[in-house]
A and B are shown apart, each in its own frame.
Chain A
Amino acid sequence: MTPIAYHALAAFIVLNAVILMVTYVTLLERKFTARMQSRIGPYYVGWPHGWLQPIADALKLMMKEDIVPTRADRWVYNLAPIAFLIPCVLIFATIPFAPGLGVADLNIGVLFFLAVSALEIVGLFMGGWGSNNKYALLSAMRAVNQIISYDLPFVFAALVPVLLTGSMRMSTIVDAQQGLWFVAYPVIGQLAFLAFLVATLAAENRVPFDILEAESELVAGFRVEYSGMKFALIQLGEYAHMLGASFLGALLFLGGWLGPGPAWLGPVWFIVKAMLVFLVVTWVRWSFVRIRVDQILAVSWKLLLPATIVLLLVTGLVVALGGPGGA
């Protein structure tokens, strides 16, 4: 098989796997939060425990009428969901699920992930602007504020394992964790993981940083005017991004596919770890209140950004003085 055909096939499989996973991650989240809130969650569609609920939701969204507001900027409005979705799905390109099992194990994998995931803001702002709705516009402005503020700490936190390894290739980073997962690396590892989680929450616009959705004040934020499949695409993008960030967290800090048992268990371990990260994110979502836009910016610029810079410098010092890794 030629390399191009191989990559195309891998991309096709990963894309579909991601979409399926995203659909079922919503069910996982709903069940999990239902437990937290002494409810049952989806139950009747599919047996047992609502296994077909995500499919039913997707079908429902497909059949919904597609409404374009009369005064919307049609081009921008219609393109926005796609512009939003593409970077969110593209991030999976560099994620290896096991050694050699992935679309492309680039030598700048981490950089690619961080750069592409930051692109979603374009689609988001297009949606907010093109809708010609004041709620959507406010939300889009908040989004730009927030994502610019949090991408820096996000990058800095993700760079700690890169420094410890001395490579940006995802598989090398995992291999470097053979002895010790980076989350268990004394002090630096835990702090970096914590900063990574917080920055992830913010970059994914999850509670307590979900000011751009902010349904109690901005109704649904930038997607207030979207319906039907366009709404579904935005939701898909959002969950794909979240899932991608969970995978990244599992790769960078939790040792990726490393775990006891035979090698073929690797992908299973990897998915379990990513789900753990995802559930932590969900758990936070359902037990906090949303903080205000000025408070969010203050947390980023006054606390998280300086802290991650210092952390990165300290890591550099540790590596220079003969810690693990180092080029």
Chain B
Amino acid sequence: MAQQQVVELGYGGNERLMMNMGPQHPSAHGVFRMILTLEGEAVVAVEAVIGYLHRCHEKLGETLTYVQYPSIASKTDYVAAMTAELAYVSAVEQVGKVEVPKRAQYLRVLVAELQRIASHCLWLGTWCMDMGGALGGGATVFLYAFREREMILDLFEALTGARLLYGFHQVGGTRYDLPAGWDARCRETIAFVERRIDEYEAMLQGNAFFLVRTQGVGTISRELAQEVGVVGPLIRGSGVNYDVRRAKPYSSYEDFDFAVPVETAGDCYARYRVRMTEFRESIKIVRQVLDGLPEGPISSRPGVKSVGQVRVAKGEGYAPIEGPRGEVGCYLVSDGGPKPYRLKWRGASFTNLSILPHILPGHKVADVVAIMGSVDPVFGEVDR
């Protein structure tokens, strides 16, 4: 159980209250415990306790073969299962120097970007719910965002037969090709989602209450962001232009034209702006993929005959990808067998969550949940 360092403000002379938030708490996005020390409403110290959802993922990865594990990998970050699987197979392919056909690479980009839209929908809904409450204004946005997320999950269901944990990727390519009519349906869906995003922005950014709750709250300075090593929308919201898709293009990302949104304020609102822009950029990428999808095989290793079929040469490697929450990657050591010798996950949520004790002190209790929501942690990925 990792215990994070307690950051404490100076003692103000007032009576203090220790309060547990979690492990079961309505605002927790999973099982996460914060031991808050309060002076009235103000938070003076935070102790974050994680580990309630630990499922020995890395050990499990060592006992399952390269054919079996991708569908388990999706259970690390279950909100963005497509990118979690992609991280694992990318690492295997890098170590084993496996070629991936162009069409499979494009399909991977397609599902990864759709997954980013779906994941951001969940973030938007739950974050607004954190600020407005299940019975409050937030639930309205929550239900709207879930309507759009459902549409994307329907697309995934048509593609893979599953709605949450897909098993879409396999070493050397993808397992499924697009079914007939999927292309048109996907275009329709993203056009719909695009219109809805305008609606959300109008609804939230024109709302003075939303602005006072997000602007200037939970500010992460550029230095702090780099020091702690947060990734994804958090670091881009703090003015650092870092996106794995741009920095180290994988899976043919260099073929597509997209912008990496960067905001300099570093507060909750900046992170919100980054993610809202990412919605649009993802939609742009999806359109480009659908337009330029090449013909050809979808895997360099078609057909699975046995679970031990894939063997990877001796070696080790790390292949980062940009998930919805930031850089996700697997460090993989192979001894030449059908299973990895050692597997290490690097989850974006884990590093992003470690920013909390640095930024929470000094805020009010209500801000704790707002900041927590803007970090967008998925505890499957934090605890693994």
Contact = CB atoms under 8 A, between A and B. Distances in A.
B135 A213 contact: yes
A37 B147 CA distance: 10
B182 interface: no
Interface stretch (A43-51, A114-122, A271-279, A287-295): A287-295
A233 interface: no
B144 A207 contact: no
Interface string B2-44: 0000000000000001011100011100000000001011000
Contacts of B140: 33, 36-37, 286-287
B46 to A, nearest CB: 14
Interface in A273-317: 285-295
Q: Is the interface of B mostly helix, strand, loop or mixed?
A: helix
Interface stretch (B208-216, B242-250, B280-288, B332-340): B208-216
B137 A217 contact: no
B306 interface: no
A135 B212 CA distance: 24
Contacts of B147: 38
Interface stretch (B123-131, B153-161, B185-193): B123-131
Contacts of A290: 131-133, 136-137, 209, 213, 366
A250 B122 CA distance: 40
B224 interface: no
A289 B369 CA distance: 13
B367 interface: yes
B265 interface: no
Contacts of A286: 136-137, 139-140
A104 to B, nearest CB: 35
A215 B135 contact: yes
A37 B144 CA distance: 7
Contact of A214 (B17, B133, B137, B203): B133
Given A134-B17, A211-B366, A291 B209 contact: yes
Contact of A208 (B20, B41, B137, B364): B137
B365 interface: yes
A218 interface: yes
A217 B132 contact: no
A39 B147 CA distance: 11
B228 interface: no
Contacts of A213: 133, 135
Contacts of B210: 288-289
B143 interface: yes
A194 interface: no
B141 to A, nearest CB: 9
A214 B26 CA distance: 10
B138 A289 contact: yes
B368 interface: yes
B41 A293 contact: yes
Among B132, B140, B365, which residue has the most Cβ atoms of chain A within 10 A? B132
Nearest to B19: A134
Contacts of B364: 292-294
Nearest to B367: A292
Contacts of B25: 219
Contacts of A216: 26-27, 129-134, 136, 138, 369
B134 A288 contact: no
Interface string A220-244: 0000000000000000000000000
A288 B209 contact: yes
Nearest to A34: B143
A138 interface: yes
A210 B135 CA distance: 10
B369 A207 contact: no
Contacts of B143: 37-39
B133 A208 contact: no
B136 A289 contact: yes
Nearest to A294: B364
Interface string A17-45: 00000000000000001001111000000
Interface string A92-133: 000000000000000000000000000000000000000000
Nearest to A211: B366
A38 B145 CA distance: 11
A170 B130 CA distance: 41
A289 B144 CA distance: 15
B365 A289 contact: no
Contacts of B368: 217
A289 B366 contact: no
Contact of A215 (B17, B26, B128, B209): B26
Q: Give me the 3 closest cross-chain CB pairs, A-B, nearest first.
A: A289-B132, A289-B131, A216-B27
20 contacts: A37-B143, A138-B38, A207-B132, A207-B135, A207-B137, A208-B209, A211-B366, A215-B26, A215-B134, A216-B369, A217-B368, A285-B136, A286-B136, A287-B137, A287-B203, A288-B132, A289-B131, A290-B366, A292-B212, A293-B366
Interface of B: 17, 19-21, 25-27, 38, 40-41, 128-140, 143-144, 147, 203, 207, 209-210, 212-213, 364-369
Interface of A: 33, 36-39, 134-135, 138, 141-142, 207-208, 210-211, 213-219, 285-295
Given A287-B207, A289-B209, A293-B366, 13 more contacts: A36-B140, A38-B147, A39-B143, A141-B40, A207-B135, A210-B133, A210-B136, A215-B133, A216-B27, A216-B129, A216-B131, A218-B365, A289-B136
